């Protein structure tokens, strides 16, 4: 079964690459080539460079990145390296998310998030500090847990 799914890996890469380029052109967002933005995520930039997404970051399904404030106008969003933005999360205008941050699914991020934290809730609060993550916000001990469950 997994070999069958691997046939679609190149197609997925092409589609996501085209999506990234379209988002950069349409919204002015700067998305690092190693980052992934779900096809169902919404990005509202408003101007070139209004949204920056660092390398090895994953923005999951139905997330919303909104850089336009109806009162104050354009307020840029910055997302660092090796972050994970959970499904349905909302990043509000003017927020900076530092490197190696995990934003829980459905969270509403209203303030800046420091590096190496996990946040969640509405409004998002720090749930854990000094976490270690790899590419796309994958926790460093995730492989250990998977091996334990296989035994």
> In Å, what is the CA distance from 29 to each residue of 24, 50, 89?
5, 6, 18
pLDDT for the residue 10: 83
CA distance 16 to 38: 8
What is the arithmetic mean of pLDDT over 3-32?
82
- The count of structural domains within the chain is 1
Convert the pLDDT of each residue in 97-129 to its tens digit.
999 999 999 999 999 999 999 999 999 999 999
CATH number, domain containing residue 30? 2.160.10.10
The pTM assigned to this predicted structure is 0.85
Q: How confident is the model at residue 32 (pLDDT cuts 50, 70, 90)?
A: very high
Q: What mean pLDDT value characterizes the chain?
A: 89
**Segment 51-76, tens digit of pLDDT:** 999 999 999 999 999 999 999 999 99
Distances (CA, A) of 54 to 3, 9, 70, 149: 31, 22, 26, 32
Domain range for residue 62? 2-150
Judge whether residue 88 has pLDDT over 70.
Answer: yes
């Amino acid at each position: 079964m997994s070999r069958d799914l691997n046939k679609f890996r190149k197609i997925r890469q092409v589609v996501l690459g085209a999506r990234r380029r379209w988002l950069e052109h349409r919204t002015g967002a700067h998305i690092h080539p190693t980052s992934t933005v779900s096809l169902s995520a919404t990005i509202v930039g408003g101007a070139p460079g209004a949204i920056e997404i660092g390398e090895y970051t994953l923005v999951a399904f139905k997330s919303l990145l909104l850089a336009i404030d109806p009162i104050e106008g354009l307020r840029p969003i910055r997302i660092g390296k090796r972050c994970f933005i959970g499904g349905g999360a909302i990043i509000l205008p003017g927020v900076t998310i530092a490197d190696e941050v995990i934003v829980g699914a459905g969270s509403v991020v209203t303030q800046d998030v420091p590096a190496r934290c996990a946040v969640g809730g509405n409004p998002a609060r720090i749930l854990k500090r000094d976490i270690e993550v790899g590419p796309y916000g994958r926790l460093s001990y995730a492989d250990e847990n998977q091996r334990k469950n296989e035994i």
